[in-house]
Amino acid sequence: MVGESGSGKSTTAKAIIGLEKATSGTVTYKGKDVIQAENRRKLHYNHDVQMIFQDSLSSLNPRKRIEDIIAEPLRNFEHLSKDAEKLRVLQLLDIVGLDPDALYKYPHQFSGGQRQRIGVARAVATHPRLIIADEPVSALDLSVQAQVLNFMKKIQRDFGISYLFISHDLGVVRHMCKNIAIMNRGRIVEMGSREDIYDHPMHIYTKRLLAAIPETNVTHRKEHRQRRLEIEKIYQEQHQRYYDKDGMAFPLTQVSATHAVALPPDEAQQYRQNKRNEGVTI
Amino acid sequence: MAKKDIEDVTTISETDLARLTKEASQEATPSAAKIMWREFVADKPALISLFILVAFILFVIIASLFIDVPKMMETNIMGYYAKPFTSQYWLGADAGGRSIAKELIVGSRNSICIAIGLTVISSTFGICWGLISGYFGGMVDLGMQRVYDFMMIIPMLMTIIVIVTVVPHYNAITLTLILSIFYWMGTSRLIRSRTLSESQKDYVAASKTSGTGNFKIIFREIMPNISSLIIVDTTLSFAENIGVETGLSFLGFGLPMGTPSLGTLIANANDPENITGYWWTWLPAAVEIIILCLAISYIGQVMRRTTNAAQRRGKDKK
């Protein structure tokens, strides 16, 4: 999930995991609405859905040892014996590439990348099905970002975990995600597979966002600048059309099997028409 | 979905457990008690204060066991304002011929015990009140804070005096309980404000998503993180609480007649004759209170430094 800051990405994530109350709508898991805290408890929802936070320092309790931090979800859900629990923590530390002597240390004794890996280890501890990663690497420098992301990918491969990966960094998203949703002004404006979004962006905001990715190729600097300015010009001329009179995006219109865009009503009408026509010809 | 288990991915197995645990404990950070002791060693005035305070409290509690209080409080006409530093009256005697030294020992025990009791009860209650109010917020906070406001507008000293005169047989324990009702508010407000900011932090959210219960989060996650505030507040309120009982007794509404306390001893200074002529009747108690409060605040400073790594002075010996 991508979007500018303040577009509601984190709020969506928090509503999904149950940290924030949704004002309306539902989140369904195993046929139950998990907005209700009672349903979450009954389903052991947080056993299956975990979260990685943006700020690695404040997401680890500064007064607890690493062992206790990683073991916390285990203690709540799995009730292992003391030795089994310690062994599991050591294994988790090994998976994220930390030494066993981290066990009795405190969070402030680690670097940012190491702390974020501890956060990953905690999220993986109960073997969840979905991990919500709320900008997990945006506070880290580039080399450490790559390291943490690769650990996350490795874990995904090994354990078959789904990620809801929230970011504003399109490069990272391209590396990590198969399906992408673009958020703007509190609504999803475009949703589709990686190819849909990067190769055929349809919403004006997505186009502008993609144009903002910096290019490192110096020889084509002029052309890139030209193209960016062009898209910016189009955006300035047309963006009125893509939002209703309250400044909100329109409802999503399905344009292909994987691709949905918040098109303005007239274009959406056209697509629906096309679809109907296709149906007739078949 | 081809799920592998955590065991399959790592090479660590049960055979390594003991070795790795040992390795980890060698690298472990020292325990809180060790750090606190190092801080005391690094700060000589605090070490002396700790020694004085502990020795003094032990001394008054043990020594008062050997003093026959009713007999001590009997009027003895022969000892009328006896001079200090004699074999019978180490610190002289008051207008009733009662030994000041003995009164001081029994009175200190009474005052310190009341102060400890008052601090324990009112701080525990105040901390719980503040933590719960700050953590849950919303309607819970609103309700709890209105109770707080109500308690705040009650004129404290007047109400205590009224209750003390109304309650039939009251003694040190009932006095402690009555005082406790009125001395938890400051602590609770302080704790609440810190809890409000603390409960917004991500580690609390992380605990919630890990499935930890609310009360466990409050007392096992948030409380350790505001422990420095709690320790400083408790030590300061201990020093203050010695003053509370002393002040009430000084006014004549503290402990009942016949029970000596630091306050009744200082109340001797009400008499102008005592102030000018018989200094030994009130000076020792006043000096004692000053020394106690100073010592407590030194100790409180060390404890605060223990809980805050950036302020530590103790050497990091491995």
- CA separation, residue B226 to residues A86, B196, B214 (Å): 28, 11, 17
pLDDT recorded at residue B140: 92
Please give the structure tokens belonging to residue A131.
């991990």
SS3 B99: strand
A92-96, A220-224, A264-268: which range is least confident on average? A264-268
pLDDT recorded at residue B117: 93
Measure the CA–CA gap between A41 and B203, rounded to whole angstroms: 20
B-chain CB neighbours of A59 within 8 Å are 201-203, 205-206
Q: Which of A78-92, A219-233, A239-253, B288-302 has the highest mean pLDDT?
A: B288-302
Neighbours of B116 (CB within 10 A): 15
**Stretch A73-84: mean pLDDT:** 84
Of residues B31 and A222, more confidence is placed in: A222
User: Is the CB of B198 inside 8 Å of chain A's CB atoms?
Assistant: no
Residue B14 pLDDT exceeds 70: no
pLDDT recorded at residue A282: 38
**Stretch B128-147: mean pLDDT:** 93
Residues recorded for chain A: 282
**Domain ranges for chain A:** 1-177, 192-282
Straight-line distance from the first to the last Cα atom of chain B, in angstroms, rounded to the nearest whole number: 49
CB contact under 8 A, B20 and A100: yes
User: Is the CB of B34 inside 8 Å of chain A's CB atoms?
Assistant: no
Give the whole-number percent of chain A exceeding pLDDT 70: 95
Residues 6+ apart with CB under 8 A from B171: B255, B256, B259
Q: Where does the pLDDT of residue B2 fall: very low under 50, low under 70, confident under 90, or very high at 90 and above? A: very low
In terms of phi and psi (left: phi > 0; alpha: psi -120 to 50; beta: otherwise), the region of B94 is: beta
Measure the CA–CA gap between B75 and A129, rounded to whole angstroms: 82
Residue A275 pLDDT exceeds 70: no
Residue A279 pLDDT exceeds 60: no
pLDDT recorded at residue A228: 79
Residue B10 pLDDT exceeds 60: yes
CB contact under 8 A, A95 and B14: no
CA B161 to chain CA centroid, Å, is 23
Residue B115 pLDDT exceeds 70: yes
pLDDT recorded at residue B120: 94
Please give the structure tokens belonging to residue A269.
């009408």
CB contact under 8 A, B225 and A19: no
A-chain CB neighbours of B205 within 8 Å are 14, 19, 51, 53, 59
Encode pLDDT of B284-293 as tens digits: 888 998 999 8
Q: Where does the pLDDT of residue A280 fall: very low under 50, low under 70, confident under 90, or very high at 90 and above? A: very low
Q: Where does the pLDDT of residue B118 fall: very low under 50, low under 70, confident under 90, or very high at 90 and above? A: very high
Residues 156 through 185 of chain A touching chain B, CB cutoff 8 Å: 158-160
Of residues B258 and A106, more confidence is placed in: A106
pLDDT recorded at residue B189: 92
Encode pLDDT of B165-188 as tens digits: 888 777 888 889 988 999 999 899
Residue B7 pLDDT exceeds 70: no
CB contact under 8 A, B210 and A76: yes
Residue of A nearest to B25 (CA): A104
Residue B84 pLDDT exceeds 80: no
Residue of B nearest to A122 (CA): B210
d(CA A226, nearest CA chain B) in Å: 43
Domains of chain B as residue ranges with CATH: 33-77+97-311 (1.10.3720.10)
Straight-line distance from the first to the last Cα atom of chain A, in angstroms, rounded to the nearest whole number: 35
d(CA A216, nearest CA chain B) in Å: 36
Measure the CA–CA gap between B114 and B241, rounded to whole angstroms: 8
Of residues A87 and B120, more confidence is placed in: B120
CA B195 to chain CA centroid, Å, is 21
Residue B191 pLDDT exceeds 90: yes
Q: Which CATH number fits domain A1-177: 3.30.350.10, 3.40.30.120, 3.40.50.300, 3.40.50.150?
A: 3.40.50.300
Neighbours of A102 (CB within 10 A): 24
Q: What is the dihedral of CA B282, B288, B289, B294, to 10 degrees?
A: 150
User: Is the CB of B227 inside 8 Å of chain A's CB atoms?
Assistant: yes
Do A227 and A211 contact (CB within 8 A), yes or no?
yes
In terms of phi and psi (left: phi > 0; alpha: psi -120 to 50; beta: otherwise), the region of B316 is: beta
Residue A11 pLDDT exceeds 60: yes
A67-76, B226-235, B255-264: which range is least confident on average? B255-264
Give the per-residue SS3 of chain A: CEECCCCCHHHHHHHHHCCCCCCCCCCEECCEECCCHHHHHHHCHHHHEEEECCCCCCCCCCCCCHHHHHHHHHHHHCCCCHHHHHHHHHHHHHHCCCCHHHCCCCHHHCCHHHHHHHHHHHHHCCCCCEEEEECCCCCCCHHHHHHHHHHHHHHHHHHCCEEEEEECCHHHHHHHCCEEEEEECCEEEEEEEHHHHHHCCCCHHHHHHHHCCCCCCCCCHHHHHHHHHHHHHHHHHHHHHHECCCCCECCCEECCCCCEECCCHHHHHHHHHHHHHHHHHC
pLDDT recorded at residue B5: 63
Q: Where does the pLDDT of residue B202 fall: very low under 50, low under 70, confident under 90, or very high at 90 and above? A: confident
Measure the CA–CA gap between B164 and B176, rounded to whole angstroms: 11
Of A60, A76, A87, the CB nearest to B211: A76
B-chain CB neighbours of A62 within 8 Å are 203, 225
Of residues A240 and B280, more confidence is placed in: B280
B-chain CB neighbours of A65 within 8 Å are 28
Q: Where does the pLDDT of residue B243 fall: very low under 50, low under 70, confident under 90, or very high at 90 and above? A: confident
**Stretch A47-72: mean pLDDT:** 86
CB contact under 8 A, A105 and B227: no
Measure the CA–CA gap between A191 and A205, rounded to whole angstroms: 12
A108-117, B79-88, B275-284: which range is least confident on average? B79-88
Q: Where does the pLDDT of residue B268 fall: very low under 50, low under 70, confident under 90, or very high at 90 and above? A: confident
d(CA A104, nearest CA chain B) in Å: 5
Q: Where does the pLDDT of residue B13 fall: very low under 50, low under 70, confident under 90, or very high at 90 and above? A: low
A253-254 and A28-29 strand pairing? unpaired
CB contact under 8 A, B20 and A104: no
CB contact under 8 A, A53 and B206: yes
Residue A36 pLDDT exceeds 80: no
Of A19, A58, A102, the CB nearest to B203: A58
CB contact under 8 A, A91 and B309: no
Angle at B249 between CA B262 and CA B76, to 5 degrees: 65
Question: In this structure, is the dihedral angle defined by the CA atoms of residues A101, A106, A108 and A113, taken in order, positive or negative?
Answer: positive
pLDDT recorded at residue A281: 41
pLDDT recorded at residue B277: 80
Residue A134 dihedral angles phi and psi, to the nearest 5°? -90, 95
B-chain CB neighbours of A109 within 8 Å are 29
Residue A81 pLDDT exceeds 90: no
Encode pLDDT of A249-273 as tens digits: 777 777 777 788 877 777 777 776 7
Residues 92 through 151 of chain A touching chain B, CB cutoff 8 Å: 92, 94-95, 100-106, 108-109, 119, 122, 124, 127
Residue B56 pLDDT exceeds 80: yes
Residues 5 through 64 of chain A touching chain B, CB cutoff 8 Å: 14, 17-19, 44, 46-47, 49-51, 53-55, 58-64
Do B100 and B94 contact (CB within 8 A), yes or no?
yes
B-chain CB neighbours of A159 within 8 Å are 3-4, 6, 9
Average confidence score pLDDT of chain B:
84
Q: Where does the pLDDT of residue B318 fall: very low under 50, low under 70, confident under 90, or very high at 90 and above? A: very low
Q: Please report which residue ranges of chain B form alpha helices under DSSP H.
A: 6-9, 17-26, 32-42, 44-65, 69-72, 100-136, 138-153, 156-166, 172-182, 185-198, 202-209, 214-216, 223-225, 227-251, 262-266, 272-276, 283-307
User: Is the CB of B202 inside 8 Å of chain A's CB atoms?
Assistant: yes
Residues 6+ apart with CB under 8 A from B295: B49, B50, B52, B53
Residues 6+ apart with CB under 8 A from A97: A117, A151
- Pairs across A and B, CB distance < 8 A: 126
Give the per-residue SS3 of A14-57: HHHHCCCCCCCCCCEECCEECCCHHHHHHHCHHHHEEEECCCCC
A-chain CB neighbours of B23 within 8 Å are 100-101
pLDDT recorded at residue A249: 73
